[in-house]
Structure 1
Amino acid sequence: MSVDIIIEDARWADLDIEALCSAAADATLGHLGLDAEAFEISVLACDDARIAALNTSFRGKAQPTNVLSWPSAERGAPTPGGTPDAPDPVRDEELGDIAIAYETCAAEAVRGDIPLHAHATHLVVHAVLHLLGYDHLRDADATLMETLEVEILGKMGLRSPY
């Protein structure tokens, strides 16, 4: 998978965010039977101030959050718990964009007694699933998405975040 990363907060470099994002994206796409080499994503590794501004602009929520995602196309399943449409490697090369905030991610990791790299990996897997059309607004969709996250993280040797 081609992952284009912009590191705005240098603390992410200490975590080797580039390798972490590539591994999480590859594992997510591979788990879903997609050829990771056919797709690209962009990741902004930022701080809480930057993600709060993005969250305000795009979601109307004037507060920081852990991760945001902007899919390049609508792929969501029309029925609750359904599988979203798979991207076409020719037409949908660019899956979308992700932003991840250091302070919020680090604070959540401390609160959950989770290693920072494991929590950040979970958030990237979660965001890539959003780029692929998965969501958690409806109960059946949340169950599907959480099940996939646990399976993907398990294959990566990480424990369930739930």
Structure 2
Amino acid sequence: MSTPSLELALGYALPRTGLPTRPQFRKWVLAALSGAGRRFDSEVAIQIVDAAEGQAMNLQYRGKDYATNVLSFPADVPEGLPEDFDFPQLGDLVICAPVVAREAAEQGKALNDHYAHLTVHGVLHLLGFDHIEDEEAEEMEALERAILASLDIADPYAGER
């Protein structure tokens, strides 16, 4: 079997200085897909935004009037596809650069490590993982830890519990 491909659309709505590069995001998305057992071609779009756009999108889509670190928008899978059909378009991630930078500083994390974590976290949401219920949160966090460890990134949840 050939290695699944990744089609990654990446947009920056602010200057790229100090922000992760396309190869970094690609590496993180592929690690998340692999770690979650995805074995099919995938398409993901990532947009890096400023605080105003992050706040506007969080208000519009979640009803929360503040900028958040990452928003996940799973793709709408067309109706009528066979149950075993693996639709390649996973969806879109919106990452708010100022929030990520502030959180990394507050939490004493390397900026790129925090971007990696939020990218992995967002991709897992696109794949259907969630953390609303405690059991779901534990499963998702364990998977995030394993994926990030494969990238030599420390446990992002260390010290939280």
- TM-score normalized by structure 2? 0.85
Counterpart of 1:115 in structure 2 is: 110
Q: Which of residues 33, 47, 51 in structure 2 aligns to 1:48? A: 51
| 8 Å contact kept, 1:87–1:132 | no
Asked if residue 15 in structure 1 is aligned to residue 19 in structure 2, the reply is: yes
Structural mapping, 1:28-43, within 5 Å: 28-35=32-39, 38-43=41-46
Q: Which stretches of structure 1, 4 residues or longer, exceed 2 Å deviation after superposition?
A: 13-17, 86-89
Identity %: 34
Q: Which of residues 15, 25, 29 in structure 2 aligns to 1:25? A: 29
Give 1:2 shift.
1.4
| 8 Å contact kept, 2:36–2:124 | no
Asked if residue 60 in structure 1 is aligned to residue 55 in structure 2, the reply is: no
Q: CA 1:44 to 1:72, structure 2 compared with 1: closer, same or farther past 3 Å? A: same
Give 1:6 shift.
1.0
What is the DSSP-based 3-state SS (H/G/I as helix, E as strand, rest coil) of the residue aligned with 2:152?
A: coil
Counterpart of 1:153 in structure 2 is: 148
Gaps of 5+ in 1: 75-85
1:59-79 deviation line (CA, Å, top 9, x unaligned)? 0111100000001148xxxxx
CA distance in 2, matches of 1:140, 1:94: 27
Give 1:33 shift.
2.4
CA distance in 1, matches of 2:84, 2:122: 15
Counterpart of 2:80 in structure 1 is: none
CA distance in 2, matches of 1:155, 1:88: 29
Counterpart of 1:80 in structure 2 is: none
CA distance in 2, matches of 1:70, 1:87: 22
Amino acid paired to 2:105? V
Query: Which structure has greater helix proportion?
Result: 1
- TM-score normalized by structure 1? 0.85
Give 1:87 shift.
8.2
Provide the alpha-carbon RMSD of the alignment. Answer: 1.8
| 8 Å contact kept, 2:43–2:88 | yes
Counterpart of 2:122 in structure 1 is: 127
Asked if residue 142 in structure 1 is aligned to residue 132 in structure 2, the reply is: no
Give 1:32 shift.
2.2
Give 1:4 shift.
0.1
- Residues paired across the two proteins, number: 147
